[in-house]
Chain A
Amino acid sequence: MVFEMELQTNNLTVSMGGKIICRDLDFAMRPGECWGVLGQNGAGKTTLLRTLAGLHAPQAGAVNLDGKPLQAQSRHEVARSLAVLLQSESGEFWGSVLDYVLLGRFPHRTALFGYSAADEAIAQQALAQMELLPLAQRPLNTLSGGERQRAAMAQALAQQTRGYLLDEPLQHLDLRHQLQAMRVFGQLKQQGKAVLMVLHDTLWAQRCCDHLLLLFPDGRTLHGAAHELLTRDHLEALYQCPLRELMVEGERCFVPGV
């Protein structure tokens, strides 16, 4: 089956600047699953996500995509099955928002010169999903932080991959657009795609993620079903601060205690 994808780690040990982020991690992300990664600032969420994307070399172990180690596949192959939303981009992009979203079609490009009409239609659709159509012709560098974030998500959507790795997809977004983005990710999940996102908001993690991966400050990790892991004890250990648990209309919320 072409649409089945699995991202799986095998005894994965990741380190960054001498700090161990996780040790001997074994987990598998399957089609239709939505994973949330939670942890303190500096716990290594981004580095782990970059490792899963093949952008950071693991210290030991391997990341397998569809049963083959990432390092053994070409970047082109990986980019056709895995889209990555990065937290910050260092590049200077001079073109319009549409040009920027079209870059997401790069791994699937068939036209020798520029992009085909079909690619453009896919990019337009992605822009519509992120409510960016009115800004399509604006230069990217005139956008606000939140608009730019939505443009980056539209680019990942235009990539039309089976897996999505999203580093803080909600950063800079206002409440309405947070909701909008989460709806889109829910649709991806329903289409049988695998989504993994780094989050800071435990409420969104509870509402959207069926699985969680917790990165504790001491390098310990926990992963499993979200409803089992999302407890006050775990979160207090995770964020090293007292929390209060509230029930609001049947929904569990965690707020910082005093």
Chain B
Amino acid sequence: MFPRILFFLLSCVTLLSLVFGLMSGSLPLPPGEVWHALWGGDGGTAAEVLWQLRLPRVLAAFACGGLLSLAGVLLQALLRNPLADPYILGISGGAAVGALAAMLLGAGLSATQFSSLGGALLAIVAVFGLGFRSGERNIYRLLLTGVVVSAGCGALVSLLLTLAQFEQVKGMLFWLMGDLSQPQGLPLAWLVLLAVGLCATIFSGGLDVLAGGLDKAAALGVAVARWQMALYFAAALLTVAALQLGGSIGFVGLMMPHAIRLLGVSAHRWLIPLSVLLGGSFLVCADTLARTLWSPLQLPVGVFTALLGVPVLLWLLGRRR
């Protein structure tokens, strides 16, 4: 019963967060005007702002938050480690090196995105090739390979930042902290989110079994190696899509699944949709605040995800005995 109520509540929160995101900005719009501008079809300034700027932005923020949360759920199930987040396997490290290298060479936006995609794919293949062996003890090998590749990428990122011109550094830092002002591949990201989310929910029973240990899962009829591979690549796909939308936004992928668990829901058939809703609406709110609080200055959204999320999670952790 409780998960159903939570699902309903979070659906309402999602709707409210989207409306909040559409209302806020340098041209504040009351809800009535948002409705009118969206469906009135008179093509005024308000409609233009909404359709051209705010709607893509809130949709990107929601998709990005949902993708990261879902990737977090899948990786925490794959690695059976509560500290797993979408970036633990070096994917964001590879993407960051790709993006920053392109920026250093003075590449434009699309070339930068393309280069970050290349870096991410390289990291995915490298970590899988070097670290993936099926079996109970080998999951640490994958985890450690990811951490090592991440560390290597971190060093390269520092090197690239040092080599960069002074005026390039700010753009690089924004990329690193996560920024939703130039989302790429929005329709594709939504497609990935919906497709992987649906598949993961359908196969959620297997995820519950895997969380109980690999030998146990095999004894209960799960083809463990196949599942691990599917989980790895699904999480990688989600992470790449999220990176293309907003760079490496921290905190969401790690903590949203835990927030739902701390509320008392742990079965994956509920954990998956609830985490996606919570992560999506959370990122919409964080992004809206990031672009409006100090406007016209736009703050990186990654700052707000942590500033907003840390107190809430500390409260949840303290509440639960």
> What string of 1s and 0s marks CB contacts (under 8 Å) between A77-111 and chain B?
11110111010011111110001100110110100
Q: In the complex, are the beta carbons of A79 and B213 less than 8 A apart? A: no
One of A75, A93, A112 near B221 (C-beta < 8 A): A75
**Chain B interface, DSSP helix/strand/loop, else mixed:** helix
- List, in ascending order, chain B residues with CB within 8 A of A92's CB: 80, 82, 211
Which residue on chain A has the smallest CB distance to residue B81? A92
Q: In the complex, are the beta carbons of A107 and B220 less than 8 A apart? A: yes
Shortest B121–chain A CB gap in Å is 31
Q: In the complex, are the beta carbons of A79 and B202 less than 8 A apart? A: no
Q: In the complex, are the beta carbons of A75 and B214 less than 8 A apart? A: no
- List, in ascending order, chain B residues with CB within 8 A of A54's CB: 218
- List, in ascending order, chain A residues with CB within 8 A of B209's CB: 103, 106
Q: Which of B11-19, B248-256, B261-269 contacts A (4 or more CB under 8 A)?
A: B261-269
Q: In the complex, are the beta carbons of A104 and B220 less than 8 A apart? A: yes
Which residue on chain B has the smallest CB distance to residue A76? B221
> What string of 1s and 0s marks CB contacts (under 8 Å) between B193-210 and chain A?
000000001101110111
Q: In the complex, are the beta carbons of B222 and A103 less than 8 A apart? A: no
Shortest B80–chain A CB gap in Å is 6
Which residue on chain A has the smallest CB distance to residue B221? A79
- List, in ascending order, chain B residues with CB within 8 A of A74's CB: 221, 223
Which residue on chain B has the smallest CB distance to residue A156? B219
Indicate whether A90 sits within 8 Å of B213 (C-beta atoms), given known contacts A99-B208, A99-B267, A109-B205.
Answer: yes
Complex CA gap A78/B223 in Å reads 11
Which residue on chain A has the smallest CB distance to residue B202? A112
Report how many residues on chain B are interfacial, defined by Cβ distance under 8 Å.
28
Shortest A168–chain B CB gap in Å is 15
Complex CA gap A223/B22 in Å reads 75
Indicate whether A84 sits within 8 Å of B219 (C-beta atoms), given known contacts A90-B214, A112-B202.
Answer: yes
Size category of the binding interface on chain A: 20 to 34
B216 within 8 A of A: yes
Which residue on chain B has the smallest CB distance to residue A83? B219
Q: In the complex, are the beta carbons of B136 and A90 less than 8 A apart? A: yes
Shortest B111–chain A CB gap in Å is 43
A53 within 8 A of B: yes
- List, in ascending order, chain A residues with CB within 8 A of B212's CB: 89, 91, 93, 100, 103
Q: In the complex, are the beta carbons of B216 and A89 less than 8 A apart? A: yes
Complex CA gap A114/B202 in Å reads 9
Which residue on chain A has the smallest CB distance to residue B203? A112
- List, in ascending order, chain B residues with CB within 8 A of A115's CB: 205
B215 within 8 A of A: yes
> What string of 1s and 0s marks CB contacts (under 8 Å) between A55-77 and chain B?
10000000000000000001111
The 9 closest A-B pairs by CB, nearest first: A79-B221, A91-B213, A94-B266, A84-B219, A107-B221, A91-B212, A76-B221, A89-B213, A95-B266
Q: List 28 A-B contacts (CB under 8 A).
A: A55-B218, A55-B219, A75-B218, A75-B222, A75-B224, A76-B221, A79-B220, A82-B219, A89-B213, A90-B80, A90-B213, A91-B210, A91-B211, A91-B212, A91-B214, A92-B82, A93-B211, A95-B266, A95-B267, A103-B208, A106-B220, A106-B221, A106-B222, A107-B221, A112-B202, A114-B205, A114-B267, A115-B205
Q: Could you list which residues of chain A lie within 8 angstroms of chain B, going by C-beta atoms?
A: 50, 53-55, 74-80, 82-84, 86, 89-95, 99-100, 103-104, 106-107, 109, 112-115, 159
